[in-house]
Amino acid sequence: MMVDLGIFSDEKFDAKKWINNVCENRHREEEVEKHLVDIEMKLQMMSEEIAASLEEQSAAALLRVPRATRDVLRHRDDAVSLRHSVSSILQKFKKAEGSSAESVVVLAKVDIVKQRMEVAYETLQDAAGLTQLSSTVEDVFASGDLPRTAETLANMRHCLSAVGEVAEFANVRKQLEVLEDRLAAMVQPRLTDALSNRKVDIAQDLRGILIRIGRFKSLESHYTKVHLKSLNQLWEDFDARQRSNKPSNEKNELERLSSSNEDQSTLPTAPFANWLPSFYDELLLYLEQEWKWCMLAFPDDYKSLVPKLLIELMTSVSASFVSRINIATGEVVPETKALAKGILDIVSGDMPKGIKIQTKHLVALIEVHNMTGTFSRNIQHLFSESDLQILLDTLKAVYYPYESFKQRYGQMERTVLSSEISGIDLRGAVARGFGAQGIELSETVRRMEESIPQVILLKAAVERCISFTGGSEADELIHALDDIMLQYISSLQENLKSLRAVCGVDKTNEGANTKKEMGLDKKVGTHKAHKVDMISNEEEWSIVQASLRATLARLSTSLSVSVFGSSLDQNQSHVATEDKSEFSLVGRAALDVAAVRLADVPDKARKLFNLLEQSKDPRFHALPLASQRVAAFADAVNELVYDVLISKVRQRLSEVSHLPIWSSVEEPSAFPLPSFSAYPQSYVTSVGEYLLTLPQQLEPLAEGISNNDDNADEAQYFATEWMFKVAEGATDIYMEQLRGIQYIADRGAQQLATDVEF
């Protein structure tokens, strides 16, 4: 049996556990006592061997100690000697350092002189070479070898840069500029032919020549010039078609107007809107072909050359584009079509009085803009390999003709909405005969109710804003909607005034009493007073507010992806704005119409993002002024309803405090008669009968609310609340009259008790 001695050195060694393990591991047929005796004998033998080994090694160690002591002493003496030697060497180094520093300074100066001499030598060589090149450059030009000529001019440019501003070579510098222009002029005809006839190899060689003399801009301008002529012809094709079709168009127009069977409200689409998609298709096809060809001819430059061509085209036709868009928006409405005017003319005031922007004008503008948006997305796909800044500049040029319209979007939308509001029939009530007065009141209220669905212009206006501006004019839209809602509510308030006049309830005389009776004069009681009455109005208005907040939240998400206040994507292409560090584009996939526009107007972007950030607050009112006016209008409606319902009560109780019964004395009589009437007075019975008939009067209003089973409880609650209000108001009026009684006799007091008990 082998025994592992390492076990006995373990601090956690347990003798009992070890013996038990040894016993468990014995052979089954071997007896325990015998096994333990064998183990004990082996352990004893191992112990004796260890003791003998320890004694032998200890003796050897004692013999080695004196020798080790002598070695330590010798090493100590060697260390001391080495330290003295090193100290001596350090002193010598310090002495040498002082003299070496002076030598190094001298050597550095010598090296500088050597370098200057080498530069002077090279400059003299360049000067000599420049002189030689200047004398032979005309011969090189005469040879007609354009690559050799370009190389010569490049060498001259290099020599001039080496020589520097030396007066003797000033004429050579001017001569070189003239020679470079001369070479560029020689290249242009050949480059024109190569570009026109798709000669890839020749175009590449000529490009190399222009690059060699530093005239890459000449290549860009010449490439653009060659192709711009063809593209301008595509644009001018519209005018040519208009001139050729004008007589027939005039004839068709006269026939259309003279036809009595045709619906005059149906207007033809503007010719420009019909033509523009075909122009974009042809332009896109042309650019695709140029993109493919330039990939072969100019593999290092095609990503900028072709976009530059489109930018130059849009710049050259921009003014004409704006004019055509303007005319196209006017051709959908007969009045502006007859004058050949459009939206910009109306906005500028250059139109006869009475002609305003209509919804059709704005819709036509958006339709044309959508065509440009489709073209823009195709361009973004075609130029996807270009740098982000180049792509951004290209899309700016594509959308630029619409900028003058977008800057006036708020004004245009406000005019359109105002016209639509003005077209709603909101005539006020007028006094009529007794029999027709109820019909007049009913018709006025009906017109007010029917105007509400017509005024829900928010959705259409929001859609127009997003379609045309991508939401970049959301702040202007909010201001326009707020103003229009104020205009509409003002019209409704004027109707309320006319209803008051026809109903015979003068607000100036009764308004204060009404608020007091309804509890509207108390801030705490205001909400309780019209909590039930206003629930439907509050729900409808909250839906409007929620819809606008949801739209602003959607815009916040989309615009935050497009325009972001930190770093750009991997290209790190900063937007060309005055404050580049604050607003940047994130990713080419986010280059929508709003992002392209906001990139150049950081102040507007900041203002818009502030609005969108505020809209995340649940307390935010998208239409702040209108919200206040809606609440005021709701209070005015409640006051009017209350004044109408309480008017008869006021009329019956108006003279109660002055009734003679209060101060009358008992008259003598021969019979024992009661000193007061056992029945209430007529004013009490009249008011009581009116209050009892009030549920029948409120029943039509309740039926208007209870248009389905879901609103049945609300309708009942509505009628009950108004009954309680009128009853409470009648009590307040009665108490006020009673307080006005100056003197009351016993008989009057007994009669008052009877009246109050009833």
Best mean pLDDT range from 143-147, 171-175, 384-388, 540-544: 384-388
Higher pLDDT, residue 332 or 160: 332
Q: Is the pLDDT of residue 316 over 90?
A: yes
Are both 435 and 523 inside the same structural domain? yes
pLDDT at 288: 95
Best mean pLDDT range from 180-194, 254-268, 397-411: 397-411
Are both 354 and 459 inside the same structural domain? no
In a domain, 521, yes or no: yes
Phi, psi of 116 (to 5 degrees): -65, -40
pLDDT at 570: 36
In a domain, 312, yes or no: yes
**Which alpha helices (H) appear in 615-681, and where do they start and end?**
624-653
In a domain, 182, yes or no: no
pLDDT at 531: 39
129-169 pLDDT, tens digit per residue, is 555 555 556 665 666 656 666 666 666 665 656 555 554 55
Q: Is the pLDDT of residue 379 over 80?
A: yes
- Joined together, the tokens standing for residue 249 give 């168009």
Best mean pLDDT range from 175-179, 379-383, 441-445, 622-626: 379-383
Q: Is the pLDDT of residue 641 over 70?
A: yes
Q: How many domains does the chain have?
A: 3
- Is the pTM here over 0.95, yes or no? no
Are both 530 and 679 inside the same structural domain? no
Are both 440 and 581 inside the same structural domain? yes
CB of 441 closer than 8 Å to CB of 503: yes
Pick from 575, 610, 628: which residue ends a domain? 628
CB of 391 closer than 8 Å to CB of 383: yes
Pick from 331, 366, 388: which residue ends a domain? 388
Are both 368 and 431 inside the same structural domain? no
Q: Is the pLDDT of residue 395 over 90?
A: yes
Question: Which residues sit opposite 563 in a β-bridge?
Answer: 585
Q: Is the pLDDT of residue 579 over 60?
A: no
pLDDT at 235: 93
In a domain, 661, yes or no: yes
The per-residue b/e assignment along 302-317, b for 16 or more CB within 10 angstroms, e otherwise, is: bbbbbbbbbbbbbeeb
Q: Region 507-515: what's the mean pLDDT?
A: 57
Phi, psi of 564 (to 5 degrees): -135, 145
Q: Region 719-743: what's the mean pLDDT?
A: 85
Best mean pLDDT range from 149-153, 165-169, 536-540, 619-623: 619-623
Are both 222 and 322 inside the same structural domain? yes
In a domain, 137, yes or no: no
Are both 556 and 429 inside the same structural domain? yes
Are both 486 and 615 inside the same structural domain? yes
Confidence of residue 376 (pLDDT cuts 50, 70, 90): very high
- Of 39-48, 110-119, 502-511, 523-532, least confident by mean pLDDT is 523-532
- The 8 Å CB, 24+ separation contacts for 203-211 are 203/297, 203/298, 204/297, 204/298, 205/147, 206/146, 207/297, 207/298, 207/301, 208/147, 208/150, 209/146, 209/147, 209/150, 209/183, 210/184
* 395: helix, strand or coil: helix
Are both 441 and 555 inside the same structural domain? yes
Are both 619 and 477 inside the same structural domain? yes
pLDDT at 115: 63
Pick from 369, 388, 407: which residue ends a domain? 388
Three-state secondary structure along 446-488? HHHHHHHHHHCCHHHHHHHHHHHHCCCCHHHHHHHHHHHHHHH
Q: What is the mean pLDDT of the chain?
A: 76
- Of 112-116, 460-464, 579-583, 632-636, least confident by mean pLDDT is 579-583
Are both 426 and 478 inside the same structural domain? yes
Are both 603 and 471 inside the same structural domain? yes
In a domain, 497, yes or no: yes
Question: Which residues sit opposite 294 in a β-bridge?
Answer: none
The structure tokens 């639509």 sit at 420
pLDDT at 55: 85
CB of 690 closer than 8 Å to CB of 649: yes
* 618: helix, strand or coil: coil
Q: Is the pLDDT of residue 349 over 90?
A: no
- Joined together, the tokens standing for residue 429 give 């009530």
In a domain, 676, yes or no: yes
2-36 pLDDT, tens digit per residue, is 566 677 777 777 777 777 777 777 777 777 777 77
Q: What's the domain range around 367?
A: 216-249+267-388
456-479 pLDDT, tens digit per residue, is 667 788 889 989 998 888 888 888
208-223 pLDDT, tens digit per residue, is 777 777 666 777 877 8
In a domain, 600, yes or no: yes
CB of 500 closer than 8 Å to CB of 643: yes
Q: Is the pLDDT of residue 314 over 90?
A: yes
Percent of the chain with pLDDT over 70: 69
